Amino acid sequence: MVNIRPGDPLPERQYVCDSIQLFLYNAALWNAHRIHFDYPYTTEIEGYPGLVVAGPLMGDWLTQCVLDWLDEEGTLVSFEYSNRKAAFTGDELRSGGKVISSDPETGEVKLDLHIKNEADEVITPGKATVRFPVA
Amino acid sequence: MGTLLTPELLSNIGKSAPPKKELVTRREIRKYSIATGQRQEKFLTGDEAPPMFHIALFWGIAEMDQLSPDGVFIDSFLPEFPLKRAMAGGWKIDYHRPVYPGDVLIAKRTLTAIYEKKGSQGPLIFYEITTEVESESGETILTEKTTRILR
């Protein structure tokens, strides 16, 4: 906690969602939306360049970014995100973020989070509040 | 402004869906953790559920004839909106305690807001659903607010 300062980066991680992962994710949800598994439908009828990565899957990746950084030393208090731009299977995506503020009295740390695509655009921005134990 | 939102449509604010009750199993946590590319052992073994697991736990189990031709569950809890095309939305979750296998959780969904905004290419309708996830004894586990945008 004492060493956490605004601007500190969170570790980045690359994700490349393939059709197998996308299938397993939507199967775990029971989500039958065809844009996630039916390639001819998705490209020819809906006009997307490929199978669409599920929005909440990218939200999950942002929570992984936070929890991997916390490394069991603090807890996730709140989390928000929005899906601004679509991603497709095979896209090289990166999760990351940085510390926005840190309050040593309450142990509360605010984080900015993102998923970026290959063009370095933030496609899924997010925010989280975490809490560290206060001595 | 507000031309799309009839009093009848706005009267749906505050409407709640029947609560859903689900048992958390280690197997479901493991499936979810693997599918999301999780790295933490406690999630991969199913000892604890990852923060977004409730999305999978409470996803609507629709029957075949409740699915639209594109495979989407038409949620009868929501009113019919004058705009149809769904755009990206936002999610906000406040966490109170982790979820473990063996938990029996209850999700209560309420339509908490409907409002209109002017988009660059025409009007947009926003609606917000608040989901309270509680234990059987009434302890709050998490609160989720999702905002959906229609154009």
Chain A contact for B27, CB < 8 A?
no
- Specify the pTM: 0.95
Residues B77-134: tens digit of each pLDDT: 899 999 988 877 899 999 999 999 999 999 999 999 999 999 888 999 999 999 999 9
Per residue in A80-122, pLDDT (tens digit) is 999 999 999 999 999 999 999 999 999 999 999 999 999 999 9
Q: Cβ of A61 and B51 within 8 Å?
A: no
DSSP line for chain A = -TT--TTPEEEEEEE---HHHHHHHHHHHT---GGGT-HHIIIIIS--SSPBPPHHHHHHHHHHHHHHHHTTSSEEEEEEEE--S--BTT--EEEEEEEEEEETTTTEEEEEEEEE-TT--EEEEEEEEEEPPP-
Q: Does B70 touch chain A (CB under 8 A)?
A: yes
Residue A105: CB atoms within 10 A of its CB come to 6
Chain A residues with CB-CB distance to B89 below 8 A: 55, 82-83
Over residues A50-68, the mean pLDDT reads 97
Q: Where are the domains of chain B?
A: 7-150
Q: What is the CATH number of domain B7-150?
A: 3.10.129.10
Shortest distance, CA A5 to any CA of chain B (angstroms): 23
What structural domains and CATH numbers belong to chain A? 9-16+53-131 (3.10.129.10)
Query: What residues of chain A lie within 8 A of the CB of B50, using their CB?
Result: 60, 63-64, 67
Selecting from A24, A46, A83 the residue whose C-beta is nearest the C-beta of B88 gives A83
Predicted ipTM of the assembly: 0.96
Tell me the chain A residues in contact with residue B22 when contact means C-beta distances shorter than 8 Å: none
A16 touches chain B (CB under 8 A): no
Q: What are phi and psi of B74, to 5 degrees?
A: -85, 110
> What would the mean pLDDT of A8-13 be, rounded to a whole number?
97
Q: State pLDDT tens for residues B42-89.
A: 999 999 999 999 999 999 998 899 899 999 887 788 999 999 888 778
